[in-house]
Amino acid sequence: MKRIVAIVGAFVLGCAVSASAGQDVRRDRREIGQDKRELKADRKEIAADKAEVKQDLKEGDKAEAKRDAKDLKKDVRDAKADRKDLRHDRRDLRHDRRERRRRNG
């Protein structure tokens, strides 16, 4: 009787782990999509900020150019952080897929 309980328990645990791995893969895919959208928005902001700085310098407004350059620097940092998140999520996805294949045989 104890063996049957142990076998059933191991089976249920294995199914739960497999389901969890599937949820991890879906979560990672969702996060990758979100990171890509954020990175795309950051790139648009960077392009707009560069154009504003260029226009401000053309008009001779150094104070406004300095403010826009500060905003540009912030957007570049945000884009760098989003690229880092994207690399991390892609690494997690590869790891989760590998784990799932390993467990499912």
Q: What's the distance, CA 10 to chain centroid? A: 34
Domain range list for the chain = 2-104
Among 90, 97, 105, smallest CA distance to 25 is for 97
Tens-place pLDDT, residues 10-24: 555 555 555 566 788
Task: Evaluate whether 96 touches 21 at the Cβ level (below 8 Å).
Answer: yes
pLDDT digits (tens, 9 = 90+) for 33-89: 999 999 999 999 999 999 999 999 999 999 999 999 999 999 999 999 999 999 999
Q: What angle do CA 73, 77, 81 make, to 5 degrees?
A: 170
- CB-based burial label for 2 (10 Å; 0-12, 13-18, 19+): exposed
